[in-house]
Amino acid sequence: MPSAKVLELKQKQVAEIAERISKACAGVVVEYKGITVAEDTALRAELRQAGVHYEVIKNTMLHLAIKDTSLSGLDEVLTNTTALALSNDDYVAAARILSKFASKHKTFQVKGGFLDGEVISLEKLDSLAKLPSREVLLATVVAAFQAPMAAFARAVQAIVDKQGEGAAAPAEEAAPAAEAPAAEATE
């Protein structure tokens, strides 16, 4: 039986894990065995750059953190080595990065995940991983909004240009007509 001090420390760790999970909009559980230190370091750097918190975690600690929550369905994947990736603001980043990494490393495996506090299937996780990044999605939305405005601006400019051409022609015709009477007056 662990001492009271050790038990208190572990309870604190479980509470911290539970808090991080509750703040996350998305999370992915992976089995990380079979990768080198260099590969793990590169993976962690990429996840960190995307704003994803990634940590190796004991199955028992994660089990206790999700016990009696809507994420308790993840219990079935808490076997072997486990790491947890959490994102607080990007629904796609963790799934995209970890799925891409898993496709290149056969022993590294995505085991499960969640969105907004609900466990999702591996199929949904795979679909999520195939979505473009948040920045690309935002750029697509902005482009979609700008396209009609740009078309309208081009149409208005074409009308202005056309009217400008029509107004320039009568002014040029009026000038030679004004010169003609002046020439007759001198004769």
Write out the DSSP string of 89-137.
Answer: S-TTHHHHHHHHHHHH-TT-EEEEEEETTEEE-HHHHHHHHTSPPHHHH
* 129-168 residue pLDDT tens: 887 666 777 787 787 777 787 777 788 888 888 887 765 5
Same domain flag for 109 and 161: no
Same domain flag for 110 and 137: no
Same domain flag for 107 and 143: no
CATH number at residue 21: 3.30.70.1730
In the prediction, which pLDDT does 181 show?
A: 52
Parallel, antiparallel, or unpaired: how do β-strands 52-56 and 83-87 relate?
antiparallel
Answer with the one of 85, 108, 131 that is the final residue of a domain.
Answer: 131
Same domain flag for 108 and 160: no
Report the alpha-carbon distance of residue 59 to residue 7 in Å, rounded: 16
Q: Which residues contact 66 (CB under 8 A, 6 or more apart)?
A: 18, 21, 72, 74, 75
Closest CA to 110 of 95, 131, 127: 95
Residue 144 CA, distance from chain mean position: 18
Answer with the one of 92, 107, 131 that is the final residue of a domain.
Answer: 131
Show the domain range for 53: 4-131
User: How much is the pTM?
Assistant: 0.66
Closest CA to 98 of 122, 118, 80: 122
Report the alpha-carbon distance of residue 147 to residue 126 in Å, rounded: 31
Q: What percent of the chain has pLDDT over 70?
A: 84
The count of domains in the chain is 2
Same domain flag for 9 and 66: yes
User: Residue 187 pLDDT > 50, yes or no?
Assistant: no
Answer with the one of 86, 114, 131 that is the final residue of a domain.
Answer: 131
Q: How many CA atoms lie within 13 A of 13 on its CB side?
A: 15
* 57-106 residue pLDDT tens: 999 999 888 888 888 888 888 888 899 999 998 888 899 999 999 989 88
Report the alpha-carbon distance of residue 124 to residue 111 in Å, rounded: 12
Report the alpha-carbon distance of residue 64 to residue 21 in Å, rounded: 12
Which band of pLDDT confidence, cut at 50, 70 and 90, is reported for residue 55?
A: very high
